[in-house]
Amino acid sequence: MGMQVEDERTLSARNQDASRAGGRGRRPRRDREATERRILKAARDLFGEHGYDGVTVREIAALAEANVALVNRYFGSKAALFGDVLAGESVIRGVIAGDPAGLPRRLAEHFVRQIDQGPATAMSRMLDRSAGQPEVKEILLRYLEDVIVQPMIEQLDGPDARARALLASTIIMGGGPVRRLFGLDDLRAADPAEVTDRLTAMFTAALAPPVRHRA
C-alpha cells in the first residue's frame, strides 16, 4: 500500500532510478533535494511548535538528520529558511476564500478546528513568538498582509475595511498564545457548537459593515 510513498528518509538507492523523463538526466547522487525537503519539513514542524526564536538551526538539522552546515548552505540563513517555510503555509488562505457572508463562521470553525487538532497546528504558533530580529518581523508582516489581511479586506464592504480586518486578526493572532499558555482542556470542555457560535459572533462583530439603521 505504501509503495508509492515518497519516503524522504532512509532510502538511498531508490531515488536513483527515478531519472527525469523529458529533461536532462542529471540527478543528485546523494539526493540533495530530499535533504532539502527534510530540512524544510523539520523547520516547518519546529517553527510551528516553538516560533522563530524558540528554535535553533542545530535542532532543525538534528530533526532532519542532516548536518548543521547544510541548513545555511541550502537556504542561505535561518531567516531565509523561515521565509521559505512561511511561503509554503497556506491553510488559512483557503479558510478566508469563499463567500463573504460565511467568512465569520469559516474563521470560527477554523479556530475550533485548531482546538480539536491539538497543539500541532503549525501556523498559529508561528505568528506569535516570532519577531525577534527586524528582518524576521519584515518577513512575517508580509506574510500576514498577503495571506490574511488583504484577502479579508477584499471581502469587506463599507468603510474602514482595513481596521475591521485588523480587529478580526486580533482574534486570530490571540488564539496562539492563549492555546499555548493555557492549554486546550478548558476550551475543549465547552460545547464546540457553542464555542463556534461565540467565535462567529466575535468575528461578525469585527468584520460586519456598519449598521447605520436597518435599511
Partner DNA sequence: ATCCTAGGTAGACGCTTGTTTACTTGCAAC
Partner DNA sequence: GTTGCAAGTAAACAAGCGTCTACCTAGGAT
Judged by the rule CB under 8 A, the positions of this chain that interact with a copy of itself are 53-54, 127-129, 131-132, 137, 140-141, 144-145, 149, 159-160, 162-164, 166-167, 169-175, 177-178, 180-182, 186-187, 189-191, 194-195, 198-199, 201-202, 204-206, 210
Identified binder of DNA from the candidate list 42, 47, 78, 121, rule CB under 7 A? 78
Output helix, strand, coil percentages for the chain, rounded to the nearest 5: 65, 0, 35
Closest to DNA by CB, 32 or 162: 32
Per partner kind, with CB cut-offs from 5 to 8 A, the member of a copy of itself, DNA, none near residue 12 is DNA
CB of 97 to a copy of itself, least distance (A): 21
User: 19 is written with which cell numbers?
Assistant: 531519472
Contacts of 124 (CB under 8 A, 6+ apart): 48, 114, 172, 175, 176, 179
Cα–Cα distances in Å, from 92 out to 41, 116, 149? 19, 16, 11
Identified binder of DNA from the candidate list 22, 23, 25, 210, rule CB under 7 A? 25
CB of 201 to a copy of itself, least distance (A): 3
Closest to a copy of itself by CB, 103 or 149: 149
CA angle 208–209–212, rounded 5-degree value? 125
6 binds DNA (CB under 7 A): no
CB of 177 to a copy of itself, least distance (A): 5
85 binds DNA (CB under 7 A): no
User: 191 is written with which cell numbers?
Assistant: 460545547
138 binds DNA (CB under 7 A): no
DSSP string for 58-99: HHHHHHTTS-HHHHHHHHSSHHHHHHHHHHH--HHHHHH-S-
Closest to DNA by CB, 8 or 109: 8
DSSP string for 132-189: SSHHHHHHHHHHHIIIIIHHHHHH--SS-HHHHHHHHHHHHHHHHHHHHHH-SHHHHH
CB of 32 to DNA, least distance (A): 4
Length of the chain: 215
Of 151, 144, 163, the residue nearest 207 (C-alpha): 163
CB of 83 to a copy of itself, least distance (A): 15
Give the interface with DNA as residue ranges (CB under 7 A): 5, 9, 12-13, 16, 19, 25, 28-32, 34-35, 55-59, 66-73, 77-79
